[in-house]
Structure 1
Amino acid sequence: MNKCMNCQHINEENASFCEECGTPLNPEVQPLNQEEPSDTNTSTENTFNTNEPHYSKPLTKKNKILILTGCLLVILFAATFSFGKNYYSKENQIDRFIAALSTEKVKPIQNAVSSAEPNFKITEDNIVPYVEYLKSHKKYISTVANELKTSNQSADIIVEKKGSYFLFFDKYEFNLVPLYVDITTNQDDAVIKMNSEVIIEKAEADTNMEIGPLVPGEYEFEGAATINKKPVSIKQTKDLSLYNEDLDNLVSLDIQVVGLHLSTNVNSGEVYIDGEKIGDIDKASEFNIDELAYNDGMRLQIKYPVGDEVLTTEEVLLAHYFDYSDDSINIRNLDFDILTSDEAESFMNDFYLSMSYEMRYSEETQSFDKVSFSEFFKDGTSSAMYQDFADYVKTYKAKDSLYQTVSFDTIDSLVMTAENTYEISYSVDYTTNYSDYEKDTVYQTLHYSKVTLFQDEDGDLKLVNDGGADNVSVEDY
């Protein structure tokens, strides 16, 4: 059976049109002699003829622009996303960080690094040691680059994901690992400096003082104090990087204080340590100081002004004389290569023995050994002093009425007046016996206050002059 959808009439199975109203039972079959519907029937027929073909209206210019704009935005977004994904990749962020370190300039590096510690803000001032460290350690940057590309950290830097760029791309921070040092000193009120800047105005002795946080780098620490009214300081340089296998966070600015005791063979002069005068030799030929800031490299020297010249001892290393039992330094007999009193006394004793010999045998011979006697004088027989003594001996030999002995007593003083030239004062005893027994024996002591001696290059002593009659006095005893 074939039911008409228009009038509901039941038609034969094979019918193509409704027997009642003539409506086509098969949609593909068109009604015979059917006319084009009028405009007034269009909406009705459209309602029921759902299979009639549909034709779209042409796009307006505005719609075309909107569609084109949308397509461009989609393409732009896709391109921007692709660019951002590459630009903000972890590898490229690491590359840009390494490039900033390679500039070795403060501002780019300050902007590239950060710190995970809230109380540690990277500034243009505190980043300077790190920048200087990069300049002096050329392999540091390549080492950091290799480590960051294979892991999330190096010894001094930790890579941490912190937020995002434009909601889509991960943002990474490069955090410097902060370092701390413990500073100690044995001097109360010491001034502590770091890289020439005061960080502690008055330190407390034997107390740990923590300094930090600090960026990795090389730091010079200095402790300054006053010892025996003299300013002294001690410095220590630290390589504060976790790459440093010998990293030690303890900075000891102890100033070692010792006592110094010195003796020499001059009773005046100046004491120098490392070229700086620290005091004077006293009249007892000694120098003593209870507090001296000490280090193992110190060298000591004595200077002895003589006229327009200055004599010096050898420089000695104080460490060779250090006594660890009481933290003292004892230097005995740091002497000048000069004439000693014993040497002067021996020479003068020989001189007067020779003189006595010439006088003692006057009865046997009237001869006088000029050559032998003249050897005691710098200018030999031309010396005025030689002439005076020779005349005295000759005069004595010419007299038969007396017998005289001469005995050298002692050196009273010895002073160097120029290099190899000395001024001595001494005493000599004269005993005179007369052949006339009614005359009493005369005992006299002659005091010479300004006799000049010269020591030649062979070390032999010679008499130069006796200072004249004004410098000779006679005393009976």
Structure 2
Amino acid sequence: MKLCKNCGHENVEESKFCENCGSVLETSETETSVNKVTQEVPEDLAENEEVLANKTSESTPAEEASSPETVETTEPETADQVEADVTVTPTETAKESGEDMQDSKAINSQEQSNQETPTPAKKGSLSKKQITIGAVVVIILVALFGGYKYGSSIYTSENQIDAFVQAITDKDSKKVVQMMTTDDDHLDLTEKNVKPLIKYFTENKKALAEMKKDMKKNLRTYNLEIKKSGKKFLVFDDYKVEVYPVYPEVSTNQKGTIISVNDEKYTTTKEDSFDEELGPFVPGVYKFSAASEKLTESSESNEKTYNLFNSEDTEIDLTFSVMIIPIESNIKDAKILVDGKEAGKLKDGEGTVGPLVWHDGLTIQLTSGEGKDQITTEEYEVEEWEYTEDSEDDYPVSLDFDVVDMYKLEIAIDSFYSDIQDAVIESNKYDKESLGEYFKDGTKNASFKAIDEYITSSREKNKKKEFDGVWFYQEITDMAPLEKDQYKIDYEVTYFINGDEDNVTYKYTGVKVTAFTDENGKLNFEFIDLGDGGKIVK
């Protein structure tokens, strides 16, 4: 039996290869030599081989020790020796020839064996499939290592902060939302909700740079902070911006006030005293406004803008400065304008307007007349501290028109009736032309003829002792400006007749006059007409 040195399997003696592992089985040098001679020496040399073998077995140790060169170079001494040499030489030649043939056959036999039997793999060698698999594994490992190194350089807190700042600069609200997180369950991070944050930082570059610098120092800034948020691809640290929402405290003082945030209705107050916390809001810039349904249409809403980031920024005061303003004027009837819109009317030269919500630039003004006859007063700008509920000031705002003073006009009309009082006495001179100067176009004025007839009639009665004279009391009840220096007035005049207990009062309506001030500052006037001509007042 042949024992395989590779796997230890026992094989039959004739086996050249191991039946178990296919390894070549080793044979002894003698056996190999004999087999080669037996198989490869030609039949015609068999006898010589046998003689050579016998001779070899009979040789003495001394002869075996002699080298071939010595035999070949030694001169033959006897014929027997020469004959012996001659006999040996063909044998050796045949042996050498046989060995060459044997080697050639052995090579041919080996090649034939290689073609018939697959060559077994040597111990420790790899197949082509194993090499391919190994190469793929190496490539994967290299790719994973490179990806890890690249990811480690990308997914850092510094890079996430830079990306967050860039998203704000680009006004990319979607990306900003993706990079943010919060622990507040009531805060929804949406593209709409982060716009106040983006608006603030895009309008304040210095604040954006400060926020970036502080976040890289792991500081909480502008209610923002960079924090780890799990793993990215199960390997790299994931970072997000933690948002700490703001809950502003809003206060106002009017029931039914509509509170809006960034022009969107947020809530409506149910009591006059309102002080509640609103939110949550993402930090940023916000516009808060309040409009009360109780206030007049001419009132504007209370509107303020706040930057909401820290706790000290969270008090929103939307309290209204409500005021009622008293007004007086030198014209009895006029319209009250608040910021150019009608908000009330004067009666007998007095009136009030309100309640009004104060705002910067609140103005009060009066107007009278229509179209080309319309006149206005100057605007009065109301201060915040005036006429509020807490103010002790209750004096009226005086808004006078640039017109003649009504009471001065009364005095001027008194002069006219005083001249009539003198003219009705027959003993006094009646200067018709002088009295006619109180009328436009003088004595030719139609209204003057009625006055002239009264004076002439009274003088006749006085001459007959039927009339002892008269004195007058008049009062302007209404005055409205018309065109430049022209007015429409209503007035009443009472006739007190001497010796007669029955007095007569006439009311003149729609009387048109022209009033002006002369160079000496004296007020002058003239009647354009006497309106309805006067009606007796019972």
TM-score over 0.5 for the pair: yes
Aligned to 1:380: 442
Aligned to 1:449: 508
Q: What SS class does the counterpart of residue 171 from structure 2 fall into? A: coil
Structure 2 segments unaligned to the other structure (5+ residues): 1-26, 33-121
Q: What SS class does the counterpart of residue 152 from structure 2 fall into? A: helix
Within a 5 Å distance, the mapping from 1:126-205 to structure 2 comes to: 126-205=193-272
Q: 1:321 to 1:211 in 2, by over 3 A?
A: closer
Larger radius of gyration: 2
Inter-partner Cα distance in structure 1 for 2:202 and 2:161? 20
1:240 Cα shift? 1.0
1:224 Cα shift? 2.8
Summarize deviations over 1:382-414 as a string: whole Å, max 9, x none: 433445556766788899945764533222533
1:252 Cα shift? 1.7
Q: Does 1:352 align with 2:420?
A: no
Q: Does 1:461 align with 2:520?
A: no
Inter-partner Cα distance in structure 2 for 1:151 and 1:325? 50
1:308 Cα shift? 6.0
Aligned to 1:214: 281
Q: 1:104 to 1:153 in 2, by over 3 A?
A: same
1:158 Cα shift? 0.6
Aligned to 2:303: 235
1:329 Cα shift? 4.5
Q: What SS class does the counterpart of residue 366 from structure 2 fall into? A: strand
Q: Does 1:424 align with 2:424?
A: no
Summarize deviations over 1:319-344 as a string: whole Å, max 9, x none: 38537755664315433334444323
1:249 Cα shift? 1.0
Aligned to 1:314: 378
Structure 1 segments unaligned to the other structure (5+ residues): 1-33, 40-54, 433-439
1:218 Cα shift? 1.1
Aligned residues of 1:408 and 1:429 also touching (Cα < 8 A): yes
Inter-partner Cα distance in structure 2 for 1:409 and 1:190? 55
Q: What SS class does the counterpart of residue 170 from structure 1 fall into? A: strand
Q: 1:114 to 1:474 in 2, by over 3 A?
A: closer
Aligned to 1:330: 395
Aligned to 2:183: 116
Summarize deviations over 1:133-189 as a string: whole Å, max 9, x none: 233223333332233334454333211122222343222111123212111222234
Of 105-114 and 350-359, deviating more is: 350-359
Aligned to 1:79: 146
In the superposition, the TM-score normalised over structure 1's length comes to 0.72
Inter-partner Cα distance in structure 2 for 1:74 and 1:37? 55
1:238 Cα shift? 1.0
Percentage identity across aligned positions? Answer: 22
Q: What SS class does the counterpart of residue 143 from structure 1 fall into? A: helix
Q: 1:210 to 1:376 in 2, by over 3 A?
A: same
Aligned to 2:128: 61
Q: Does 1:250 align with 2:312?
A: no
Q: What SS class does the counterpart of residue 342 from structure 1 fall into? A: helix
1:347 Cα shift? 1.3
**Which of the two has greater helix per residue?**
2
Tell me the amino acid that sits aligned with residue 379 of structure 1: D
Aligned residues of 2:426 and 2:463 also touching (Cα < 8 A): no
Inter-partner Cα distance in structure 2 for 1:263 and 1:406? 36
Aligned to 2:100: none
Q: 1:70 to 1:252 in 2, by over 3 A?
A: same
